[in-house]
Amino acid sequence: MKNLISIAVLGLAVGATATEYLVAPEAGDIKPPTEEWVGRIESLAPAKAMAVPAKPRKVLVFSLATGFKHTVAPHVKEVTKVLGEKSGAFEVEFNDDISVFEKESLKQYDAVLLNNVCPDRSKRDLFWDVLKDEKKAAELEANVLEYVDGGGGLVVVHGAIAFQINSPAVSDMMGGSFDWHPKFQSVTLELVDPKHPLVAAFDGKGFIHQDEPYLFKNAYKDKNFRPLLEMEVSRLDPATLKKPLPEDDYYVAWIKSHGKGRVFFCSPSHHPASYETKAMLRFLLDGIQYAMGDLKCDDSPTGVR
C-alpha cells in the first residue's frame, strides 16, 4: 500500500510528495438537494460522454428502500439526471413502483440503476417486503437476473449492494453482497489499475473522501469481477473496527459481465459531497456507459490473488 505523505486540500485535488490523491469536499449536514447544489453538479458534470451511444439510451433509476434509507438517494437521482442530460448519453426515468421489474417493463431500459435500495433486515428481500408474497417476489428477482443475463445493464450504487443479500444468484450477478461497515470516516482509495479506461477520470491519482467503508461477503470471496478502486484499510480508524479484518483485497468499485449483460458497482459514496468533484461524476458516467454497452473495456475477472 502507498503512503500519503502530505495533503493540501483544494476541494478537487491534492498535492503529495510521493503519491497524489484527489480529495472530495468535507462532509456536512446531509440535506435534500437544493437548487444551488444541483447547479454545482451541473457545472462539474462532463459535457461529453466518453463513448458515443450506439442508439438512444434509457436508464431506470429505482430508489425504493424498505430498510435503511440513505439520505443521499435524492442526490444520486439528481446526479444521474444531470449526467444523462448534459452529456446526451442517456435519458433517465425515475420509477419506484415494484411492477417496473415485470419482464415487459424491463425491456424498455438499457440499464437499471439501483439507488441505495436496502431491504428490511428481517428477510433482506426487497420484493417480499413490498409484496408479502414469496412466489411473486421470487418471480421479480428472476426477472432481474434474466434481464441482465440477456444483455441488460445494472448499476449498483452504494447501499444497493445490500439488495437481495440472501440470494446467491443475485450476489453472483453483482459480484458480492454487503456484510458490514465501520463507522463513517475518511477513506482512502487507490486505483487498482491506473491505466484502465474506467478510472481515467482520476488521472492516475487515488481518492480520499468521507464514507462508510463497506466490507463484503458471499460471491465477493471469488473476486469474479474486474476491480477498479481498492480501499486502504490500513488508514481506517482502528477504534471503528468491531472485529479483526482478514488479510484480503478490499475493493469498493468494480465491473463484471453477467451472461450478455454488464454490472457496475460503485460504493462511494454515503455522502453527497463525494459527488462534488469532476472526477467522481466522470467515473459514474463512465460506469453507466459501460453498463449500457457503449463504453467497451476489459471486464475480465481477476479472481482471487
Q: Per CATH, is 21-292 categorized as 3.40.50.880?
A: yes
Q: Is 13 exposed, middle or buried (0-12, 13-18, 19+ CB in 10 A)?
A: middle
What pLDDT does 14 receive?
32
Looking at residue 237, what is its pLDDT? 80
pLDDT at residue 10, as a whole number: 29
DSSP assignment letter at 204: T
Widest distance between CA atoms in the chain: 58
d(CA 10, CA 180): 31
Residue 268 one-letter amino acid: P
Per-residue pLDDT in tens (0 to 9) along the chain, 305 residues = 443 322 223 233 333 333 455 555 555 555 689 999 999 999 999 999 999 999 999 999 999 999 888 889 999 999 999 999 999 999 999 999 999 999 999 999 999 999 999 999 889 999 999 999 999 999 999 999 999 999 999 999 998 999 999 999 999 999 999 988 888 888 889 999 999 999 999 999 998 888 888 889 999 999 999 999 999 888 888 888 877 777 788 999 999 999 999 999 999 877 888 899 999 999 999 999 999 999 999 999 986 65
pLDDT of residue 13: 34
The dihedral through the CA atoms of 282, 196, 287, 27 has a sign that is negative
3-state secondary structure of 268: coil
- Confidence (pLDDT) at 28: 53
Cα(119)–Cα(151) distance, rounded to whole angstroms?
Answer: 25
Q: What is the pLDDT of residue 24?
A: 52
Q: What is the model's pLDDT at position 210?
A: 84
The whole-model pTM stands at 0.89
